């Protein structure tokens, strides 16, 4: 625990930051800076045993939220006004005592407003579970990944230490009694789980920035356009083209109407599900990124949130296939989060996401890990373009 002088100094620094903070006009970095100062004070004052048991608070909160969400209780709380536990129990079919005990966890952690004894009202935090686009991803993590994470000690005790780095022996495959298959192959056996996964990924992708990092709008003026047949950009495993269309729009907004061929690559079922009118000016091409890249010498190859789905061995194959297709002046742009060299700030997304990926057979990487991985495929890291609004980045690479 810090000395009194240090504690007072840190509180005064927090007060100064708070006085310059405009809650109505603040951007994300300013808000996270203030939260970081508050969190640092919390850590200074917290007893180690209290910190240990806070982890139990976290998982009980998650369990209570998920149970009440699934039982429809949160949806039955009026958006304006309040409701009693008795009314909620009656409307949801839950036992009143059980409902009250679950609600205590949420009122104690600020998710629900306890406006009276066993009387509840929504807060902006509880409404997020009803209105937020992120709730599908939250449910996916809680229902699919968390139960396996709880069994991680059992997995590690029964497997060779390197087994977890094999996607076909991931904890998820093991817990599903499907060792020998990767996470995505397991999901194919369960249409309902696959549909929820696809929906969760779609909403999460929409929430993560594509633009505002790498200057796509400047590409047209910086590339050699002497060959009009040369492909401009290949979006490898680009899903429904949501990223590619944003890039196209930014380039066109900069005054360049035609930079050349734009190609969206993915599996056949993904591409077949996209109406042609939703991809104006974009070619669709079926590929398997574990096989040689069919489009040669494109100006730009683009991989967004693909590499974190796989361990290093599989990523090396994906990257080598692209590198073999690149021209000397081609660029490979990789949209991923980058793990900081040391923990910083209050945004822990990249850390819990890395554990989720470890469970299903993937990996979030640091700058050094990306650099080493790229080098193994004949590429070099040129620059990491960061976002001011989150942990997403664009990693610019070229052939060595």
Residue 270 has pLDDT above 60, yes or no: yes
Q: What is the CATH number of the domain that holds 226?
A: 3.40.50.150
- The verdict on 277 and 390 lying in the same domain is yes
Q: Where is 112: in which H helix or E strand?
A: strand 112-116
- The verdict on 279 and 195 lying in the same domain is no
pLDDT tens string 322-380: 999 999 999 999 999 999 988 877 889 999 999 999 999 999 999 999 999 999 999 99
Pairing status of strand 283-286 against strand 262-266:
parallel
At residue 351, the 3 state secondary structure works out as helix
Mean pLDDT, range 248-272, rounded to an integer: 89
- The verdict on 119 and 242 lying in the same domain is no
- The verdict on 141 and 119 lying in the same domain is no
- The verdict on 201 and 277 lying in the same domain is no
- The verdict on 246 and 358 lying in the same domain is yes
Decide if 308 is catalytic: yes
Nearest to 139 by CA among 246, 75, 62, 226: 62
Q: How confident is the model at residue 390 (pLDDT cuts 50, 70, 90)?
A: confident
Helix residue ranges per DSSP H, the chain: 4-19, 28-45, 48-70, 73-76, 85-92, 96-108, 124-131, 135-140, 146-150, 152-158, 171-175, 183-188, 191-207, 219-222, 242-253, 268-272, 312-325, 349-360, 367-376
Q: How confident is the model at residue 88 (pLDDT cuts 50, 70, 90)?
A: very high
- The verdict on 301 and 344 lying in the same domain is yes
pLDDT tens string 278-302: 999 999 999 999 999 999 999 999 9
Residue 106 contacts residue 61 (beta carbons within 8 Å)? yes
Q: Looking at residue 1, what is its pLDDT? A: 56
Structure tokens at 348: 């822990």
Of 96, 130, 164, which residue is a domain's last? 130
- The verdict on 306 and 176 lying in the same domain is no
- The verdict on 66 and 145 lying in the same domain is no
Q: Quick one: CA dihedral 288, 289, 292, 298, positive or negative?
A: positive
DSSP for 186-249 reads HHHT-HHHHHHHHHHHHHHHHHS-SSSSS-GGGHHHHS--S-TTS--EEETT-TTSHHHHHHHH
DSSP for 143-204 reads IIIHHHHHTHHHHHHHS-TTGGGSGGG-HHHHHTT-TTS-HHHHHHT-HHHHHHHHHHHHHH
Q: What angle do CA 308, 278, 259 make, to 5 degrees?
A: 75
Residue 370 contacts residue 308 (beta carbons within 8 Å)? no
- The verdict on 159 and 103 lying in the same domain is no
- The verdict on 178 and 125 lying in the same domain is no
Of 88, 115, 130, which residue is a domain's last? 130
Q: How confident is the model at residue 2 (pLDDT cuts 50, 70, 90)?
A: low
Residues of the domain holding 98: 4-130
Which of 42, 122, 159, 308 is labelled catalytic?
308
Residue 210 has pLDDT above 90, yes or no: yes
Q: Looking at residue 356, what is its pLDDT? A: 96
- Give the pTM: 0.90
pLDDT tens string 126-161: 999 998 878 999 999 999 999 999 999 999 999 999
Q: Looking at residue 124, what is its pLDDT? A: 96
Residue 28 has pLDDT above 80, yes or no: yes
d(CA 254, CA 165): 44
Average model confidence (pLDDT) across the chain: 93
In Å, what is the CA distance from 177 to each residue of 99, 169, 174, 203, 254?
34, 10, 5, 29, 52
Interior/surface letters 232-265, b for 16+ CB within 10 angstroms, e for the rest? bbbbbbbbbbbbbbebbebbeeeeeeebbbbbbb
Q: How confident is the model at residue 224 (pLDDT cuts 50, 70, 90)?
A: confident
Collect all residues with Cβ–Cβ distance below 8 Å to 269 and sequence separation of at least 6: none
Q: How confident is the model at residue 391 (pLDDT cuts 50, 70, 90)?
A: confident
Provide φ and ψ at 286, rounded to 5°: -80, 130
Mean pLDDT, range 241-248, rounded to an integer: 94
Q: Looking at residue 80, what is its pLDDT? A: 94
Domain count for the chain? 3
Q: Within 13 Å of residue 221, how many CA atoms lie on the same side as its CB?
A: 9
Q: What is the CATH number of the domain that holds 54?
A: 1.10.10.10
d(CA 120, CA 110): 12
Q: Within 13 Å of residue 81, how many CA atoms lie on the same side as its CB?
A: 4
Eight-class DSSP state of 387: P
Residue 395 has pLDDT above 80, yes or no: yes
d(CA 67, CA 71): 6
Mean pLDDT, range 152-172, rounded to an integer: 96
- The verdict on 189 and 245 lying in the same domain is no
Residue 308 contacts residue 338 (beta carbons within 8 Å)? no
The residue that leads in pLDDT, 6 or 302, is: 302
Of 206, 230, 246, which residue is a domain's last? 206
Cα pseudo-dihedral 252, 257, 260, 264, rounded to 10: 40
Residue 199 has pLDDT above 70, yes or no: yes
């Amino acid at each position: 625990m810090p000395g009194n002088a240090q504690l007072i100094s840190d509180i005064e620094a927090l007060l100064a930051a708070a006085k310059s903070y405009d809650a109505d006009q603040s951007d994300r970095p300013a808000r996270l800076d203030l939260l970081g100062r508050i969190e640092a004070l919390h850590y200074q004052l917290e007893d180690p045993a209290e910190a240990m048991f806070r982890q139990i608070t976290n998982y009980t909160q998650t369990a209570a939220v998920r149970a009440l969400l699934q039982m429809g209780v949160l949806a039955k709380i009026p958006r304006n006004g309040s409701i009693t536990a008795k009314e909620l129990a009656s409307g949801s079919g839950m036992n009143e005592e059980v409902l009250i005990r679950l609600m205590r966890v949420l009122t104690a952690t600020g998710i629900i407003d306890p406006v009276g004894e066993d009387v509840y009202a929504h807060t902006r935090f509880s409404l997020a579970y009803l209105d937020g686009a992120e709730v599908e991803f939250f449910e996916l993590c809680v229902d699919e990944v968390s139960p396996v994470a709880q069994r991680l000690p059992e997995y590690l005790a029964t497997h060779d230490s390197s087994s977890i780095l094999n996607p076909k022996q991931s904890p998820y495959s093991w817990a599903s009694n499907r060792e020998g298959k990767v996470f995505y192959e397991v999901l194919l056996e369960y249409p309902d789980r696959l549909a929820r996964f696809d929906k969760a990924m779609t909403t999460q992708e929409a929430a993560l920035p594509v633009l505002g990092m790498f200057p796509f709008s400047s590409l047209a003026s910086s590339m050699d356009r002497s060959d009009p047949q040369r492909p401009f950009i290949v979006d490898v495993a680009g899903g429904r083209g949501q990223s590619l269309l944003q890039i196209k729009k930014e380039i066109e907004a900069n005054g360049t109407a035609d930079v050349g061929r734009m190609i969206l690559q993915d599996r056949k079922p993904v591409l077949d599900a996209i109406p042609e009118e939703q991809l104006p000016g974009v070619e669709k091409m079926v590929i398997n990124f574990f096989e040689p890249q069919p489009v040669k010498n494109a100006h730009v190859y683009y991989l967004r949130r693909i590499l974190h789905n796989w361990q290093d061995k599989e990523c090396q194959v994906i990257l080598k296939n692209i590198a073999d297709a690149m021209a000397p002046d081609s660029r490979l742009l990789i949209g991923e989060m980058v793990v900081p060299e040391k923990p910083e700030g209050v945004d822990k997304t990249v850390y819990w996401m890395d554990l989720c990926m470890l469970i299903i057979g993937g990996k979030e990487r640091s700058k050094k890990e990306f650099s080493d991985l790229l080098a193994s495929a004949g590429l070099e890291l040129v620059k990491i373009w960061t976002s001011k609004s989150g942990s997403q980045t664009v990693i610019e690479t070229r052939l060595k």
